[in-house]
């Protein structure tokens, strides 16, 4: 096999190991955060505990967790100028993508962070906590601005998940909604060298600052082949529901067959690593369905539709859903606006990003791979 053929077979760095990490392990059957498997964490930990695990490197003691939670509560309000700009963008640029707005908010926050240019381990941990704590208020300020409402102040009495829902809606979330959001944040928190994390590590490897690396990661997550897949998955389900409702002769199976024939990319399915299924998907699907059954019975139709689509994909294409597929149905049943799905992803993945950025800075070498040139042969300019 020639070097060019080899390069073609590994487009997107498929199957290539490009570094070491102590943060996360991903394989066909397991997703592990610093030694703890994801199903164990989803069943037994809170998002705050998982955030501590990722950022500080070990399972927290009772005292450590209390200290960490108190720190986050004290950091929930971004600088007033950040909220002012984000809320203003909702009115002056209502069509701006929420991920662009959130990226702007994070960039603005860097100007008001006293540790911005300090890449020491202590300063980076402080910056990581500030971003983790304050991103829900940024997301909420934008959404409420789009709805013509004033932002609400972050609530220090609530858990991180509950405060996120509060900032979005201005309504105190119930116990089951809080739990579902908490689990979804745990499931999305980390996933080794995915596209956005790798982007953040590349930027960090130049000795750039944490905020710059996070802004780059936000840009990578925005794409519908990465973080935006949960939005695209829900849009697809809405298309199926609308089309089959308007045309009583059109079955879900027929819709899917047409999509296959048109070579339409069906979002929320398949994974580069999990060839036999994403084990996060079943966890989130079960919690989302539980929410629908207990709090919003009318939303159960989305899970029924999702199960049918999932079955057809498996039977005809042998492709399993990834976590983005049930995420769309779950958030939709909770009344969360679809354009905010990926910003909520940021509210979770900020923990993994920051853990990797800190790890990169702690043992750094600039990331600079080689490319295989396939252009024209050498020529003389004057010929």
Rounded CA separation 355/56 (Å): 8
226 is a catalytic site residue: yes
> What are the C-alpha distances in Å from 313 to residues 68, 96, 228, 336?
43, 33, 20, 26
Cβ atoms within 10 Å of 259's Cβ, excluding its own: 17
Tokens of residue 258, six digits = 């047409």
What burial letters (b/e) apply to 292-315, b meaning 16+ CB within 10 Å?
Answer: beebeeebbebbebbeebbebbee
Cβ atoms within 10 Å of 374's Cβ, excluding its own: 8
Cα 115 to its chain centre, rounded Å, is: 25
Selecting among 191, 209, 324, 356, the annotated active-site residue is: 324
324 is a catalytic site residue: yes
Rounded CA separation 242/317 (Å): 24
Selecting among 226, 235, 286, 307, the annotated active-site residue is: 226
By C-alpha distance, which of 223, 175, 254, 213 is closest to 359? 213
Selecting among 271, 279, 320, 361, the annotated active-site residue is: 271
For residue 352, give every residue at least 6 positions away whose Cβ sits within 8 Å of its Cβ, in sequence order, or none. Answer: 23, 24, 54, 189, 190, 191, 197
For residue 182, give every residue at least 6 positions away whose Cβ sits within 8 Å of its Cβ, in sequence order, or none. Answer: 46, 47, 159, 160, 161
Tokens of residue 257, six digits = 């067959």
**How would you class 83 by CB atoms within 10 Å of its CB: exposed for 0-12, middle for 13-18, buried for 19 or more?**
buried
Rounded CA separation 346/214 (Å): 10
Active site members: 226, 271, 324
């Amino acid at each position: 096999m020639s070097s060019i053929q080899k390069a073609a077979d590994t487009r997107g760095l498929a199957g290539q190991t490009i570094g070491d990490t102590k943060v996360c392990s991903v394989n066909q059957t397991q997703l592990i955060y610093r030694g703890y498997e994801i199903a164990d964490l989803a069943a037994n930990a809170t998002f705050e505990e998982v955030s501590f695990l990722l950022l500080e490197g070990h399972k927290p003691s009772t005292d450590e967790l209390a200290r960490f939670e108190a720190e986050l509560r004290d950091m929930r309000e971004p600088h007033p100028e950040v909220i002012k700009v984000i809320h203003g963008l909702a009115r002056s640029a209502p069509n701006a993508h929420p991920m662009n707005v959130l990226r702007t908010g994070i960039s603005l926050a860097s100007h008001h962070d006293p540790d911005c240019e300090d890449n020491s381990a202590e300063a980076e941990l402080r910056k990581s906590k500030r971003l983790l704590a304050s991103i829900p208020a940024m997301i909420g300020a934008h959404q409420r601005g789009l709805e013509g409402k004033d932002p609400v102040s972050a609530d220090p009495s609530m858990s991180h998940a509950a405060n996120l829902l509060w900032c979005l809606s201005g309504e105190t979330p119930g116990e089951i909604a809080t739990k579902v959001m908490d689990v979804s944040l745990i499931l999305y928190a980390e996933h080794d060298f995915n596209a956005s994390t790798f982007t953040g590590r590349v930027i960090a490897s130049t000795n750039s600052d944490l905020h710059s690396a996070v802004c780059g990661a936000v840009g990578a997550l925005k794409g519908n082949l990465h973080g935006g897949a949960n939005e695209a998955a829900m849009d697809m389900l809405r298309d199926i529901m609308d089309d089959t409702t308007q045309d009583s002769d059109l079955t879900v199976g027929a819709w899917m067959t047409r999509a296959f024939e048109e070579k339409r990319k069906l979002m929320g399915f398949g994974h580069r690593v999990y060839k036999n299924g994403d084990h996060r998907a079943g966890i989130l699907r079960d919690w989302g369905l539980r929410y629908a059954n207990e709090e919003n019975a009318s939303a159960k139709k989305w899970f029924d539709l999702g199960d049918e689509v999932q079955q057809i994909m498996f039977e005809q294409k042998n492709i399993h859903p990834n976590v983005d597929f049930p995420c769309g149905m779950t958030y939709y049943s909770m009344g969360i606006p679809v354009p905010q799905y990926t910003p909520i992803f940021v509210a979770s993945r900020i923990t993994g990003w920051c853990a990797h950025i800190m790890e990169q800075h702690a043992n750094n070498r600039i990331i600079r791979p080689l490319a295989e040139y396939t252009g024209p042969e050498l020529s003389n300019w004057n010929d």
